[in-house]
Amino acid sequence: MNVTVKKSLIDGTVTALSSKSVLHRLLILASFADSETKIVCNNYGKDVERTVDCLTALGAKINKVSDGLIVEPIKTPNQNATLDVGESGSTFRFLLPIVSTLGVTATFVGAESLKKRPIYPIVNLMKEKGVKFTSDSLPFTVSGKMEAGNYEIDASLSSQFITGLLIAFSLMDEKSTLTAKSLTSKEYVDITVWAMEIFGQKVENFVVNPTGLKSPKTVVCEGDWSNGAFVLALGLLGGTATCKGLNVDSKQGDKIFVDYARKMGGDISYDKEFTSKKSKLKGATLSVKNCPDLAPILAVLMANAEGESKLTSVDRLRIKECDRLQAIMEFLDKCKVENHYENDVLTISGGKISPCNLDGKNDHRIAISSIVLLSEVGGTVEGVECMDKSYPNFLQDFEKLGGKYDA
């Protein structure tokens, strides 16, 4: 699906989608808790659907109700399960070690794009702990059982390995410890620790002494800061945008978007809700080491800013849904914004943006960022159906905010 974006005057209010990062974790923990849990949430994308489907395949019962999801935990895991993780790296990397604590045989299948995302640190570790793999890349079947003990892993490629292991530890019979070398995106691990504590499991310095996951009965999933950043960026570039449902005290690392935007001169205020207003942006140096998902939308702001900006720690963007660094440079080139990459740094010289046609690259964050970029000047974005991965109702929200487009 292609959309033609028209120059838009932004003025409106939307409610943030439930956080994908938080919802993955709550669903998994609820599926292994001692009793039923209601998760209050609104709309969610295909990645969360994959987690729901995989947990159901393992034996959980997850029912959708008007205001969220009701999870009946797994009583006896299915001994042979096929888990289709689709394009969801979170679902895959979280469930891989978790399933291997259950002593079941599980076959993992997924989309072609997921095969390119590295998993060798967790695979090698699990092999050391006695888990058998029929292959080192998707599709494969795992069998055997991981036992409690001392674990060590290189976490430089993804913090998702850490989340999977910590939750897996909570399902074991004895205390386990984890040493995470070169951990990036620590804020995502903070979400995991916070979520585990909601279910009664303490985690101290990556040490888990399993006490059994206890249902909180009802838990509310907060709004998604990664998607909220798109809404607030629309206001900064084209008028006024209010995003409801974002937690000012959230553990989500992407809430740093507000600080980053303000550093660039962005007008973002908070009075129960976050509101952004059209601003004269200036260049800044910003690191995406712990918030890689913000890189595309920060590049959009930098393209509109006066002077030179730098995005640092960008090399890890190459192993996302696409080579996200290359995709960012490509959309900047097409709208005639000067940019240069060298030594883990992307330099962007802001200036006048030209109307153009952009490719969503089958990457939800690239597609949405491209629409935000073109809301200032107009143009076409190809392949926007990939937005269903995380923000299936973005175009509806864009329209609510005053955005104009033809599909």
Residue 11 a catalytic site member: no
Nearest alpha-carbon partner for 162 in 198, 199, 122: 122
Asked if 223 contacts 244 with a C-beta cutoff of 8 angstroms, the reply is yes
The C-alpha atoms of residue 23 and residue 195 are separated, in whole angstroms, by 10
| Three-state secondary structure call for residue 239 | strand
DSSP code for 343? T
Asked if 62 contacts 90 with a C-beta cutoff of 8 angstroms, the reply is no
Strands 273-277 and 267-271, bridge-based pairing: antiparallel
Q: Which residue has the tokens 């910003």?
A: 286
Q: Which residue has the tokens 């153009």?
A: 356
Nearest alpha-carbon partner for 138 in 116, 162, 156: 116
CB atoms within 10 A of CB 223: 23
- Maximal C-alpha separation, the chain: 60
Indicate the helix (H) or strand (E) that contains 296.
helix 295-303
Residue 186, Ramachandran bin (φ over 0: left; ψ between -120 and 50: alpha; else beta)? alpha
Distances in Å between the Cα of 332 and the Cα atoms of 138, 339, 365, 391, 404 are 33, 7, 15, 23, 22
| Three-state secondary structure call for residue 114 | helix
| Catalytic-role residue among 47, 224, 254, 293 | 293
Distances in Å between the Cα of 352 and the Cα atoms of 152, 295, 306, 404 are 49, 20, 9, 21
Annotated catalytic residues are 293
